[in-house]
Amino acid sequence: MSHADQFVELNVETGDCLIKICRKWLQYPEDWPKIAELNNIKNPNLIHPNDKVIVPIDMLKGIPLNGVITFVQGDVKISKDTDQTSIPVHLNDSIREGSRITTGNDGSVRVSFQDGYAFVIRSNTNLRIIQANTKRESRLFFQLWMGIGRVLSRIKKATGADARFQVETPSAVAAVRGTEFRASVDTSEDTRCEVLQGSLSLKANEAEVQVKEGEGSLVRKGEAPSAPSELLPPPEVTIPSPLITHLPVELEFENIEGAFRYRIMIAADPDFHGILRETMVEPRERFRLDDMADGAYFLRAGSIDRAGIEGIDSVPVEFRIRVHPRPPVLSWAQGDRVFKSGMVHFSWAGVPQAKKYRIQVRKGELLQVFDKVITETTQPAFEFQPAAPSVYQVRIRSIAEDDYEGLWSNVSSFRVVPPPPEPAIEPMDKKGNRLRITSPAVADHFRYEFQISKDPRFQEIIVSKTTEVPEIILEKPEDPGTYYVRASLHLPGFQSDFSPSAGFEVKEESALLSAVLFAAFVVAIILPASLLF
């Protein structure tokens, strides 16, 4: 810094003495011995009119500056001067010298001053504004105490203002002359400073280092500042699409040599005053983007070295999330997606934020046969009459009030089959006491139902049996008489008409036949035992 940048010259007038001059111009008049030593004045009461007294700008009494809250998010509280009572901060609140600001886990606040100067206080920060004033010739001076947390200082170059900024922490003092820098204090009371534009001097434990633009330094409590190191470049940020229509999405970042972690931040504004999400990830670790509302966002990333010094932030990447309205889910009311020829009916539960729905049906893989917008949202449904039996695919998407069409649902297939043919009963096969009843086999995975009754109108069913194969084998009925049998074909949700019935006779057995059968039964039991002897 040049001599002119750091000092002002005061003219001595008739009747002035050094103590009187210091009482008029110094922030702390009791510091007059420092001014005497600086100007080599042996007798503070003996100075002459028109002499020049050199005074450091930082020691001048300034005009207090009130800051204004120009952004606030989350848990932010303020206590003023010696008042220990904390009250919530609101937009456009005035901030005076002596104010203490604390932010919670989700808190962030920007305090703006005249000439375009502002600083942003991040989450979990405890900071006090010791001084905020303007010196002579539009020189701004700010003195902050930060016990823990992070602060970002920024001043617009276009103003031409000369801003001096001093940040005191439990382990260091950073005197800043520049337009943009970061300072942070962790739970171990270690201090880190990174200069993005300008420069700063960092003092600790009777040692001082100069940190230039694009450099950073670490001060561990009780130690001297580390030698300044070059700030790491940011990892490249790539988002698959500027419009994200489904979550979660996993993002990858390029590997930066020397990076120990990456800080990923998402905000609703390109200046990142209000950070909505902040995450640390390891190199080559994917960042999972999920559980976020529809809207416009900005994402940026920065590299952090093993000393915890943060590098240069990446250029913000803008993207939008639009996952609503979500796709509907079909309810298949007619079985397992197999329908008879005729009208096919579909329905689904209403989707929040959907004002209408688009339905598409296609035959095979290419031919689209149905495309319609349904405006009914209370009990949404549609009917479709296929031209021919075949395999079809259907999908549905929700449409929002602004006509934004959401994602398509998963494609669902269904089969339309012709009505099942009327089956027939083939001639029965009788073997001993068993009956084998068959029907001609048909395709398309039909099931077969057989019914037997002594009534040709089948008002009283004796046997009803459904099988996967076109036959049943039964024991011959005990009661003699005429019996009738019929069959039908089944598919899930419907069945064919019954076939014409076929009759068969069960005759009464004679006494002689019964005796013969009984003798045969006895022989069948005794004979094997006789063969053993």
pLDDT tens across the length of the chain (533 residues): 344 457 878 889 888 999 999 998 888 899 999 999 999 999 999 898 989 999 887 788 777 778 999 999 999 999 986 667 899 999 999 998 889 999 999 999 999 987 678 899 999 999 999 888 876 555 677 889 999 999 998 765 434 456 678 899 999 999 887 678 999 999 999 999 999 998 999 999 999 999 999 999 999 999 999 999 999 999 998 888 999 999 999 998 989 999 999 999 999 999 898 889 999 999 989 999 998 999 999 999 999 999 999 999 999 999 999 999 999 988 865 445 777 777 888 888 889 999 999 999 988 766 677 888 888 777 788 888 887 888 888 899 999 999 999 999 988 888 887 777 788 889 888 887 888 999 988 866 788 999 999 999 999 999 999 999 999 998 888 889 999 999 998 876 677 889 999 998 888 765 555 555 445 544 444 444 334 33
490 and 448 in contact (C-beta within 8 Å)? yes
Intervals of CATH 2.60.120.1440 along the chain: 66-229
Per DSSP, what are the bridge partners of residue 87? 78
| C-beta atoms surrounding 277 within 10 Å | 14
* Packing angle of the helix pair 18-25, 32-39 (nearest 10 deg): 120
What is the three-state SS of 148-203? EEEEEEEECHHHCCEEEEEEECCCCEEEEEEEEEEEEECCCCCEEEEEEEEEEEEE
CATH number assigned to the domain covering 243-320: 2.60.40.10
Quick one: fold of 3-59? Membrane-bound Lytic Murein Transglycosylase D; Chain A (3.10.350)
Intervals of CATH 2.60.40.2550 along the chain: 330-417
Best CATH choice for the domain 429-506 from the list 2.60.40.10, 1.10.3720.10, 1.10.10.10, 3.40.50.720: 2.60.40.10
Which residues does 49 contact at the CB level (< 8 Å), separation at least 6?
A: 12, 13, 14, 16
Half-sphere exposure of 263 (CA within 13 A, CB side): 16
Intervals of CATH 2.60.40.10 along the chain: 243-320, 429-506
Residue 253: C-alpha distances to residues 259, 282, 287, 408 (Å): 12, 10, 8, 30
Q: Give the Cα separation of 70 and 90 in Å (integer).
A: 9
Maximum Cα–Cα distance for the chain, whole Å? 160
178 and 142 in contact (C-beta within 8 Å)? no
Quick one: fold of 66-229? Jelly Rolls (2.60.120)
The architecture of the domain spanning 330-417 is Sandwich (2.60)
Intervals of CATH 3.10.350.10 along the chain: 3-59
Kindly report the CA angle at 61 between 55 and 64, in degrees rounded to 5? 145
Q: Would you give the distance in Å from CA 249 to the centre of its chain?
A: 8
Q: Please name the helix (run of DSSP H) or strand (run of DSSP E) that holds residue 23, with its range, or none.
A: helix 18-25
pTM: predicted TM-score of the whole model, two decimal places: 0.68
